Every structure is written in C-alpha cells, then in structure tokens.
Chains A and B, each alone.
Chain A
Amino acid sequence: MNWFLRGLSRGILTTRYPGGREEMPADWRGTAAVLPGAPPEAYERGARACLSNAIDLTHAPPVVLRQRCFQCGWCARVAPDAYAMRNEYELSLIPTDLATTQARLARRASSLGRSVFVRHVDGGSDASCDQEVQALFNPFYDLNRLGIFLTATPRHADLLVVTGVVTRAMAEPLRRTYEAMPDPKLVVAVGSAASSGSIYAPQDVLGPVDRVVPVDVKVPGAPPAPLSILHGLWVALGRVAAHAREAPE
C-alpha cells in the first residue's frame, strides 16, 4: 500500500518519446561536429586531441567519424573555432546504403509484429553502457510501454543489443548467442566501442561488434544516453528513419 500511494503521489514520470518531443540538457555533449571555415591548423589541433582518431583529415573540411566519437568534448575545448559538440541525441547510424538498409529493416521489423524481445550481451563494455541500457527500463523511459521487453534466453529474442568492444574471449559467446536467436533477428551495437572499437588497441581486443555478427544499427556514445539508445532501437525496428549512415573509415 505504501508503494502504491508513493507511486501515485509521484505522478507520471515517463517521457512521451518517441511519440513526442524530448530534450537533453542544454549543454549536454552529443557528438562532435565540424565548424566550417576554421584555419587548417585548428582542425589539426583538434584532430590530434582525439584519442579515438575520430576526425578524418583527408577530407576538407574534415569529417567526424561519428561511430568513433566517444563524446569527450576535448576537440571542442582545444579548438573551439573548429569543432563544437552538438546537443543532439538521435545519433544512430546504419551501415552503408541508407535506403536499402532502411527498407530491409522495415520489412524485417514488420514480420516481428508489435512487440519485440531484446537480449543483451556484454561484449566487453566498461559497465556504463550496460547501466544505460538498464536505465531504459526505469520509469522515466519505460521501454515496456513501447512493446519492447527483455528476455533471458536468446531463443525468444528478436533483437540483440551488444554493448562494449568485443574482446577475444567474448567473440565466441557472442557468436553463439547470435546463432541461438531465431530468424528474423536484428542487432544493435550500443556505444562507440561497440560501433567502432573507439580507443581500444586492435592487438588487445577483437574489435567492434560487426567483426563478429552483422550489425543493423550503431549507436555511438560513451555511454550513449538512454534516449539515444531508444532512438537506435526505434530505427532498428523500422519505425523511424535513421538520420545518418556510417561514414566509411
């Protein structure tokens, strides 16, 4: 009774997103963006400051490899005229061709019906991405209202959420989890490490998730905010189009 009354007195905390608008705090660091018209020396200074080599200087103006950016904001502090942190949170990326991927996702998602079961696998994360995925089930976001549920067994899962860069030891368990899921299935890589390997040295880890299983949507961030992950799931389910495709490295 205590809990019931307590809950009633709090009212509804749940966001309407993706059914309605939602904002992150004004200064919240989304992904890095290139400001045009800065001197090349500033671009280079910012690129040197990036630990995960997310700034591709071979183009002019440089391109931010969004799957590698882990939102530290250092490039913007070091070269504020060349780079700035965008406040946006809808950061999901889909690989290569936008149109065909979108169509394929929509087709596959339609066969899944209205409710979807999610299986989470930790490929080698730093524990923050896992906590943000868990946060999606708290009263503020409440993924269950969208028909997305968590399952313990991959046999019942439609969607695989992988957090963290995939370590050598976790490659085989991840692959087995993927193969234990029945078709049709979707894979969402959550976090910059899962999307691209970000700061991890290639000799110590296996690499991003798409080295082991095919990935449908990547959500960069370290960790991505729950709204970003939610957007990523919504893209994977074909309910909304992704804003961007992955820039080739």
Chain B
Amino acid sequence: MSALLIAFALLVAGFALAALVQGPVGRAAGFLATALGGAAALLAAGDVLAHGARSWRAAPALHLALRVDPLAAAFLGIVGAVGVVVGIYGLGARTADERGDGRAAACATAGVLFASLLVCTADDALLFVFGWELLALAFYQAIAYAGTDPRGPSAAYLTLLLTHGAAAGLLAAFVVVGHGTFGLPTLLAAGASATPLVRGVAFALFLCAFGAKVGILPFPIWMARGYTAAPSLVAAMMAGGALNVGFYGIARVGLGMSGATPLWWGLLVMACGALAAFFGIAWAAVQRDARTLAAYSSVENAGIVLVGLGVAIAARALDLPFLCGIGVAAALAHATAHALAKCTLFLACAAVRADAGTTSFQELGGLWRSLPLVTVVVLAAAGSLVALPPSGGFAGEWMTLEALLQAFRTGNVTATITFALSGATIGIAAGVAIVAFVKLVGIGFLGAPRTPAAERASAGRDPFRGAALVLGAVGALGVGILAPQLISALGPTIDGLAGVPATARILADAPVIEPAFAGFSSAWPLGLGLVVGGFAAAFAVLVALIRRPRSARVPVWTSGEAYRPWTQYTGVGYANPTRVILDLAVRARAWVGVAVWNRIGAAFLRAADVVRETQSGVIALYLSYILVFTIVMLLLFPAVRHW
C-alpha cells in the first residue's frame, strides 16, 4: 500500500515541479516522476498480487478510501508499466510536437498517470468519479495545451464533452444502483437487491461510460483527433495507459456486481466489442497518418479485450466458472499486450515526428535506412497489434479466440450464436489489421524516401529514447513469449474473478497454455518465440556463410526512365482494395459522426437556445421568476411539508 501512496505523492510532486520550475529541468522532473510513479505502481501491484488485497482509508467524511484488490492490481501493473516506458522516453530531449519547453506535456503525462491510478484504486464512488473527472481534465490539458496542433482546442473540447458525458453516465449509474452509500463495495453489493430493470439500466450506463473511454461505437470519434492533437509522447500514455481504466471499469461492474448476472450483459459487451473490433480496424486501414491509424487500432484491440470480458460475464451468468477464468485471462493478457505495444507505437511515432518531421504516409518512406532502431521497434509493436506469434497480441488474441471456441459448452443458443459471430468478426478484424499494419510498416518505413524531409531524416543520439523504445518493444514481445509467467502472475486476479482456481487449469501443462479445459487446445509461446528466433538466426548464419555470386549495384529499373520516388506505391493505393471491399464500414465513420452525434448535439443546442431565453438579463424577468416561485411554493407548501 505504501508503494501506491508513494506513487501518488511522486506524481503530485512531479506535476508541481513541472508546473513551477522553468526550462528542461521542470520537464525532466515531470517525466522522472512519471517513470518513478509507474515503477512504484508496479511494485504495489506485485505486492498485492503476491500477498492479497490492501486498503487504505482516511477519514470517512473525506471519501478518501483506496483499495487494491487483485483486479485493481492487474490494471495498476499495466498502467504502471506504461508509465515507466513513457517516463523514460520523456527524459530525453523535448520532442517537436510539444508546445513551449514541454512542461505542459510533462504535467499532462503525470496527471494522466495519477488519475488512472486513482480510478483503478478508488474505493469510494465519489472518489471514483473525482478520479474520472481528473482524468478528463488531464486529457484536456494534454490535447489542448501540451501540443502544437492548431486544432488542439477543438479536439480537446470534443474529448472533454465525451468523457465528461461519460462521467455523468457514471454518476447516474451510481445513483441508480446504490441508494445512499458511497463505498464502492457496498454499492456493488447493493446491486443485488435492485430490480433487474434497475440493474440493467445501471449496467447500460456503466457500459456507455466506460465504453466511451475505450472507444466502442458510437464513441470513438474523439480518439483520432485527440491522439493526434496531443503530443505523441503524451498520447502514448493516454492510449497505452489511460485506456485501460475503461476495461477495469467494465470488469469491476460486470463481474463485481452482486446478484445474478443476466446473460445479456455478457452478450452485449461481446457484441459491442466485436463491432468495435471490426469497425475500428476498417477505419484504421484507410488512414493516411500513422497516429490516426494507431488510434483506430486501439479501438480494435479494445474490442478484442471487451470480447474477452464479455465471455467472462456471460460465463458467470451461465455458471461456467472456468470459462469465466479463461475469458478474464484472455482479456487481461490482451490488455497488457495492447498497452505496451500501443505505447511503444506512439513513442515510435514521436521519434519519427522528431526525426522526419511528419507521420503522414505520403511523406515518409525509406526510414529503415536512416532510423533502423525505430523501424525494428515499430515492427515489434505492429507485430503485437496484428497478433503475429510470438508477440503479446498473439497470446491475448489466441486466448480470446479459444475462449470463444468454448461456445459449445454454454448450452445456450443465443450465447452460442453470439460467441460464434464475435469470433468470426474478430477473425475478419485480424485480417484487416494485417493490411493496416503492413501499410504502416511498408509505406512508412520501407522503400525509398518520398519527400526531401524523409530523405533528410536522421536518428537522434538520445539514449533515453532508445532505451524506452527498446524497453517497450521487448515488453510487447516479452508479454507474449512469457505469457505463462504473465498469467501466473495475474493468477489471483483471474481466480478471484472466476471464483475457481482457473489459473492452475490454464497453466496445467506449463510452459504450454491451455484454455482452462484440458485436452482442447494449447499454445507454447516460448516455443514459438524460439522457433521464430531460431529460424531467423539460422537464416542469418546461412546468408553469412554462403558465398554470393559477384554482384553489381545498379539503379532501380523503371521502364527505362530515371527512378522517381514519387512514383512509389502510396498508402491510399495499397489500402484501396480493402477500402473498396469494406466501403460501407468505412463510410459508417462519417455516418456515426453525422447521424448520431450531430443530431444529439443539435438537439442539445436547441434546448440550450430555449433555456438561454430564460436568462435574458432583464431584472424584471428575474423578479417575476422569484414571485412566481414564491406563489407556487406557498400554494404547495402544505403538500411539500407533508412530503
């Protein structure tokens, strides 16, 4: 527990230092605090996973109650790990898209980490909402103040609107479920006594609130703009770290609320996840900028995690505790893998932005020669996001699909159909993900430079950047290769939520992982890693040993003309067949924005127009309001007093 409190203290100190001390020192202080705070959070998580839940309570009236149980510890660990990597990167030189001397970015990063940790460990509903709003504010600062994008303020406004609206939903849900109490466990326990309708409404509100953060439909409209307006460094923290609080929330509510869990909760979460996965990656594949591609890829991966959580919730409803266990394990593994890979990807985008000036595909190319480390790191991160073995994304997605394959055990027709459709959708999404990331790596990094700016790119000599990128890439791959170790570390979380020793079943034949049902299927991530690595090493040795024939260096052959780099394949051209086939899905993005949000926004604005009329500023009108209200109160006073 003390480690967590130290983490909070460090982050507050870092925020203060970054805000008050001028120059690079302030910035470095902020990022150092992020790194150390993340490390402390990791320690706290490890401590809880090893020794059980911890809590800390200040005076009850202050609503300051923290509690770290295994579920919170898992997410503490994830967010903390991302904080460490981002913090180390931030210790390097200021990146080009940070405004001023970068202190705003440092403040924002520390703030995001602080708020994420607070949300994950809050034991009081008000503290939870406070943490959530703090997170929204930190996002606002990151998007509006920390970056140099002129569209920052409008993107920040949109983000704030949606996350604040999510907070409103949270508050409403808390009110609906628990009457009078604020303590989170009692609140969730109170849910048992509420009617199914009330619980259902509450769950739907929770899902909307947390879903807005992770980006289920129709909420992801803020993500692309938000993540590109914020400096990529801070976006790494946001997309890699803060995203996970949404998963934490859904896990906490879906699997933590007492009483019988209805089946439709799990199926709804699964359906939302599957749709998010499909649409997210369809939109990612047609993006022209690496950061928007990464942003929509987050939506896809969030969808996969949600499918895992949906399986767990549905299994809980159907009383299949081992299936619940594998669902939770899949969701956690994938969330970990995604957090590390996404944060690494955004950090690599920051490096590319700093060295080549842009992250737009049209203007990149040929970076494998000038930025070899970044290219390899992006390859590792992209491999994880595409679920290539033996990366973390593969482990997570494999487990998710294995959990879905257990549909035949549910014995429920609706559940079986939903499982099957979700599995199919994730399959399609995985395929389209390959297109999107081959585009990212192939058009952005391979080939020849498309513009003079890309030609002039040169890697900086920053040790912190290199260390952070390598650490992130190793993490993204390591989570996969060492998946059994990760699952055993998260054992308490999995078993706690499932209620049975599911981890033991998953790791029954360690180092192979199995989907909690013996004899069904298995995967050996370490073995896959060894095989891939072994083949690569053997090939390298073979190439070095075999004498190659005499070769000459000649220019590229292009129909007899001189080679012109602008005739290379563009990202749009490469993704064109995908865009044509997924045309309806791609166009749905505009539809979501226009049909849903514009209408809602227009309705609000109309209502606001009407309400504004009441505040006309005429004193006589205000006096008449008081008069009318007094008369009404006098008339109704007896009735009111009775009541």
A182 lies within 8 A of chain B by Cβ: yes
Within A159-214, which residues are at the interface with B (CB < 8 Å)? 172-174, 176-177, 179-180, 182-183
Q: Digitize B544-585: 1 where CB-to-A-CB distance is under 8 Å, 0 elsewhere.
A: 000000001011010111100000000000000000000000
CB-defined contacts of B561 to chain A, threshold 8 Å: 173, 176
Binary CB contact string for chain A from 3 to 37 against chain B (1 if under 8 A, 0 otherwise): 00000000000000000000000000000000000
For the complex formed, measure the closest distance between the CB of B517 and the CB atoms of chain A, giving whole angstroms: 54
Report B329-371 CB contacts with A as 1/0, cut-off 8 Å. 0000000000000000000000000000000000000000000
Does A155 count as interface, using CB distance less than 8 angstroms? Answer: yes
Secondary structure call for the A interface = helix
B557 and A176 form a contact (CB under 8 A): yes
Residues on the A chain within 8 Å of B557, using CB? 153-155, 176-177, 180
Bound form: Cα–Cα A153–B559 in Å? 9
State the CA gap A44–B94 with chains docked (Å).
87
Instruction: Determine whether the beta carbon of A174 is less than 8 Å from that of B560.
Output: yes
Instruction: Using CB atoms, name the residue of chain B closest to A153.
Output: B557
Complex contacts, B562 vs chain A, CB 8 Å: 176
Are A173 and B560 closer than 8 Å at their CB atoms? yes
Instruction: Decide if A172 touches B552 in the complex (CB within 8 Å).
Output: no
Interface contact A182-B560, CB-CB below 8 Å? no
Residue on B nearest A173 in the bound complex, by CB: B560
Q: Is the interface of B mostly helix, strand, loop or mixed?
A: loop
Say yes or no: A182 contacts B552, CB within 8 Å: yes
The residue of chain A having its C-beta at the shortest distance from the C-beta of B559 within the complex is: A173
Tally A-B pairs: CB < 8 A.
23
Chain B residues with CB below 8 A from A153, complex form: 557
| Interface residue ranges of B501-516 to A (CB < 8 Å) | none
Of A121, A176, A183, the residue contacting B555 (CB under 8 A) is A176
Question: How distant is the Cα of A155 from the Cα of B561 in the complex, in angstroms?
Answer: 15
Among B552, B554, B561, the one with the most A-chain Cβ atoms within 10 Å of its Cβ is B554
Output the nearest chain A residue to B556 by Cβ-Cβ distance: A180
Check if B552 sits within 8 Å of A176, measured CB to CB. no
Give the residues in chain A near B560, CB-CB below 8 Å.
Answer: 121, 172-174, 176-177
Complex Cα gap A121–B557 (Å):
14
Q: Which residues of B contact A177 (CB under 8 A)?
A: 557, 560
Chain B residue contacts of A172, Cβ below 8 A: 560
Contacts of B559 in A (CB 8 A): 173
Chain B residues within an 8 Å CB radius of A174: 560
Chain B nearest Cβ from A81, distance in angstroms: 48
Inter-chain CA distance A155–B557, complex, in Å, is 8
The CA-CA distance from A183 to B552 in the complex, in Å, is 9
How far does the alpha carbon of A177 sit from the alpha carbon of B560 in the complex, in Å?
6
Chain B residues, CB < 8 A from A180? 554-555, 557
A155 to B559, CA, bound (A): 12
- A32 and B590 CA atoms in complex are apart in Å by 75
Min CB distance, B463 to chain A, in Å? 43
B555 contacts which chain A residues (CB < 8 A)?
176, 179-180
Residues of B within 8 A of A173 (CB): 559-561
Taking CB atoms, residues of chain B closer than 8 Å to A182 are 552
Minimal Cβ-Cβ distance residue in A for B555: A176
Residue of A nearest to B551 (CB): A182
The 8 A CB mask of A110-153 against B (1 = contact, 0 = none) is: 00000000000100000000000000000000000000000001
| Nearest B residue to A182, CB-CB | B552
- Nearest residue, chain B, Cβ from A180: B557
Chain B residue at smallest Cβ distance from A175: B560
Measured CB to CB, the closest approach of chain B to A164, in angstroms, equals 14
Q: Considering the complex, give the chain A residue whose CB is closest to the CB of B557.
A: A180
Query: A182 vs B554: C-alpha distance in the bound complex, in angstroms?
Result: 10
Quick one: closest B residue to A176, CB to CB? B560
Distance in Å: Cβ of A155 to nearest Cβ of chain B: 6
Per-position contact with A for B392-432: 1 when CB-CB < 8 Å, else 0? 00000000000000000000000000000000000000000
- A50 → chain B, closest Cβ, in Å? 33
Question: Which B residues lie within 8 Å of A155 (CB)?
Answer: 557
Whole-angstrom CA separation of A180 from B555 in the bound complex:
8
A174 to chain B, nearest CB (A): 7
Least Cβ–Cβ distance between B554 and chain A, in angstroms: 6
Question: Chain B CB within 10 Å — which of A153, A154, A173, A176 has the most?
Answer: A176
Q: What is the CB-to-nearest-CB distance from A170 to chain B, in angstroms, rounded to a whole number?
A: 8
Report the bound CA distance from A172 to B561 in whole Å.
8
* A180 to B560 Cα, complex, angstroms: 9
Bound form: Cα–Cα A200–B554 in Å: 33
Q: Whole-angstrom distance from the CB of B564 to the nearest CB of chain A?
A: 13
- The CA of A33 and the CA of B88, in the complex, are separated in Å by 87
Of B552, B559, B560, B561, the most chain A CB neighbours within 10 A belong to: B560
Residue of A nearest to B563 (CB): A176
| Distance of B563 from chain A, by nearest CB (Å) | 10
Collect the chain B residues with CB atoms within 8 Å of residue A176's CB. 555, 557, 560-562
Query: Could you tell me which residues of chain A, from 16 to 71, have a CB within 8 Å of some CB in chain B?
Result: none
What CA separation (Å) do A132 and B364 show in the bound complex?
46
Q: Please list the residues of chain A having a beta carbon within 8 angstroms of any beta carbon in chain B.
A: 121, 153-155, 172-174, 176-177, 179-180, 182-183
Q: 23 A-B Cβ contacts within 8 A?
A: A121-B560, A153-B557, A154-B557, A155-B557, A172-B560, A173-B559, A173-B560, A173-B561, A174-B560, A176-B555, A176-B557, A176-B560, A176-B561, A176-B562, A177-B557, A177-B560, A179-B554, A179-B555, A180-B554, A180-B555, A180-B557, A182-B552, A183-B552
Give 20 new A-B contacts, CB below 8 A, not counting A153-B557, A154-B557, A180-B554. A121-B560, A155-B557, A172-B560, A173-B559, A173-B560, A173-B561, A174-B560, A176-B555, A176-B557, A176-B560, A176-B561, A176-B562, A177-B557, A177-B560, A179-B554, A179-B555, A180-B555, A180-B557, A182-B552, A183-B552
**Shortest 7 CB-CB contacts between residues of A and residues of B:** A173-B560, A180-B557, A176-B560, A177-B560, A179-B554, A180-B554, A155-B557
